[in-house]
Every structure is written in C-alpha cells, then in structure tokens.
Structure 1
Amino acid sequence: MELQPIQEGRTIVLSPAGRIDHTHADAFKLALDPHLADCRKDGPPLVIDFSGITYISSIGLRALMVAIKQVKAQGGRMVLAGLQPLVLEVFTISRFDMLFEIFPDRASALAVLATAVS
C-alpha cells in the first residue's frame, strides 16, 4: 500500500485507499512506519485521511493501535479523518473511537491542528 504524503502547512496527510485487512495490513503498517518516526513532540502532526478506506479488520485496527502507542510515546499527535460509515462503525464497536481523535473530514482535522500549533 502506498501512502503518498502531502504536506498541508506543518501537517503531514496520508491517504490510504481500499481495504486494511489480513491481506493489506502488513503493507499498510510498513508504509506508515517511516511517517510515525517523524511524528514526535517537535515534529509535524499526522492526519490519516480514511475517506478512501472501505473496510478495516481487526488486524488493521491492531496496526493502528501500535501506531498510536508509538506516536503518543514520542509526544507526537496523530489523528484520523473522513471515516466511511462502515469503518466508523467498526471503530465505535471496538471502542477504538476512544483511542483516536476522529474528525469528519480532512479539512476539519487540519483546522484543529493548525490552531493547536498557533
């Protein structure tokens, strides 16, 4: 899975697409890892724009849980945006909505992160 980073001000936006399931979770984690290393206290915040994700399985959730633990340990900030209804339902049922800051869309996430930096 490719995650072409886009810089929006000081924030890095990643936009995965498709499914994050047993077939794609390892590729997602590998693509995410280099961006997590930079997401630290004085580094850029990270927005993962999920608007292109149609499905996430438990192994995909696990990859995200490992990622948020790393980011928090480094003092960084990673948020999610644009979750499709089915994906948001998975996050809600699994209570992952309590682990992450979730925004309705990329613009909302960027606006909050921009005001937090100012």
Structure 2
Amino acid sequence: MELHPIQEGRTTVLSPTGRIDHTHADAFKLALDPHLAMCTRDGAPLVLDFSGVDYISSIGLRALMVAIKQVKPQGGRMVLAALQPLVLEVFTISRFDMLFEIFPDRAAALAAVGGAA
C-alpha cells in the first residue's frame, strides 16, 4: 500500500487510500513502519490523512494500535485526520477514538501538531 508521504513543515503527512482490511493491513503496516521510526520526541510528527480510506477492519485497527504503541514511548505524536463517516463510526464503536487524536481535516491536524508551514 502506498502512503503518499508529503512534508508539511516538519510534519509528515501520510495518505492511505482504499480499504485497510485483511487483504491490505499487512501492506499498510509495512508502509507505515519506516515513518514510525522517525516519529520521536525530536523527530517528525505524523498526520494520517484518512480522507481516502473508505473502510477499516479490526486487523486494520490492530495495525494502528501497534503503531501508536510504538510512537508514544518514543515521545512522538501521531494523529488522524479526515475520517470518512463509516471509518469514524468503526473508531467510535471500537473506542479507538479514545486512543487517537482525531481531527476533522488535514489542516486542523497540522495546526494541532504544529506542522503548518
């Protein structure tokens, strides 16, 4: 899965597309891993722009949980932005909305992490 990384100031924005389900979750995790290593206290914050993600399954949620469990002890910051209504509903039902900072759009997420140039 391609994450289309873009630098916005010091913040890295990743924009996955499609479905993050049993077919694509491993590719999503592999594509995300190198960015997690850089997401440290002194490194680049991560914004995951989910505007192009139309579905996420439990295995996709697991990949995100593993990611945030790596980032937090490193002192990094990873936030989510622009979740589609169905994806946001999955996050709410599973209570993942309590695990992640979720912003309505990319601009709000960038402003929150100080990534706006």
Secondary structure of 2:61's aligned partner: helix
1:46 Cα deviation from its structure 2 partner? 0.2
Query: What amino acid does structure 1 have at the position aligned with 2:11?
Result: T
1:41 Cα deviation from its structure 2 partner? 0.7
Q: Aligned-residue CA RMSD in angstroms? A: 1.2
Map of 2:68 onto structure 1: 68
- How far does the alpha carbon of each residue in 1:61-93 deviate from its partner, in whole angstroms, 9 at most, with x for none? 000000000000111000000000000000000
Cα distance in 2 for partners of 1:51, 1:91 equals 14
Superposed, which structure 2 residues align to 1:15-94 within 5 Å?
15-94=15-94
Structure 2 unmatched ranges of 5 or more = none
Map of 1:11 onto structure 2: 11
Cα distance in 2 for partners of 1:67, 1:7 equals 19
1:94 Cα deviation from its structure 2 partner? 0.1
Query: What amino acid does structure 2 have at the position aligned with 1:67?
Result: A
Map of 1:2 onto structure 2: 2
TM-score by length of 2: 0.97
TM-score by length of 1: 0.96
Cα distance in 2 for partners of 1:71, 1:99 equals 12
Cα distance in 1 for partners of 2:39, 2:113 equals 13
1:3 Cα deviation from its structure 2 partner? 1.2
Secondary structure of 2:44's aligned partner: coil
Query: What amino acid does structure 2 have at the position aligned with 1:23?
Result: T
Aligned residues: 116
- Identity of matched residues, %: 85
Map of 1:95 onto structure 2: 95
Cα distance in 2 for partners of 1:3, 1:83 equals 15
Secondary structure of 1:62's aligned partner: helix
